[in-house]
């Protein structure tokens, strides 16, 4: 997301690009750190599942990052990605289209290509 749009002060006074890089790396490697420390990530997965089920049962219209097949999402098609979506009694009601920078769009497309390549290898 374009941070300057949401926090103009950060754009003028902070070195947020370096911080975003650190956050990206931490999120990317979080599962490995959890597995190293606890041996598994199933507790976090269980908590996430509870939150999704609550939103469905209570018809909350909550915005949650859930995986579903995307089509025409910044040029990404026919792959399942975890995208912020409205979740209610219908399940995933709609995918929210985030405002992504050009770099973020390219990174998203790269991730989608990587997932598709892995799926091709697994499905052989």
pLDDT of 110: 96
pLDDT of 94: 96
- Measured between its terminal Cα atoms, the distance across the chain in Å is 36
pLDDT of 44: 82
Other CB atoms within a 10 A radius of the CB of residue 87 amount to 25
pLDDT of 6: 63
Q: What is the CATH number of the domain that holds 70?
A: 3.90.110.10
pLDDT of 117: 95
Q: Where are the strands (E) in the chain, listed by range?
A: 62-70, 79-88, 91-95
Instruction: Count, in order, helices (H) and strands (E) of the chain.
Output: 5, 3
Domain count for the chain, please give it: 1
pLDDT of 123: 85
| Domain with 47 in it | 3-122
* Inter-CA distances, 47 with 11, 50, 52, 78, 91, Å: 34, 5, 9, 28, 17
Nearest CA to 85 among 67, 64, 102? 64
pLDDT of 11: 65
Q: pLDDT 10s per residue in the chain (124 long)?
A: 566 666 667 667 777 777 778 887 888 887 788 778 877 778 888 999 999 999 999 999 999 999 999 999 999 999 999 999 999 999 999 999 998 989 999 999 999 999 999 999 998 6
């Amino acid at each position: 997301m374009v941070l300057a749009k949401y926090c103009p002060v950060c754009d003028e006074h902070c070195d947020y690009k370096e911080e975003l890089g650190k956050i990206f790396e931490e999120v990317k490697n979080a599962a490995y750190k959890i597995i190293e420390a606890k041996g598994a990530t199933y507790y976090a997965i269980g908590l996430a599942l509870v939150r999704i089920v609550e939103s469905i049962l209570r018809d909350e219209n909550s915005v949650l990052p859930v995986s579903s097949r995307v089509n025409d999402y910044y040029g990404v098609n026919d792959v399942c990605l975890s995208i912020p979506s409205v979740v209610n009694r219908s399940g995933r009601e709609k995918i929210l289209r985030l405002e992504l920078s050009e770099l973020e769009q390219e990174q998203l497309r790269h991730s989608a290509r990587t997932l598709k390549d892995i799926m091709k290898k697994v499905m052989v």
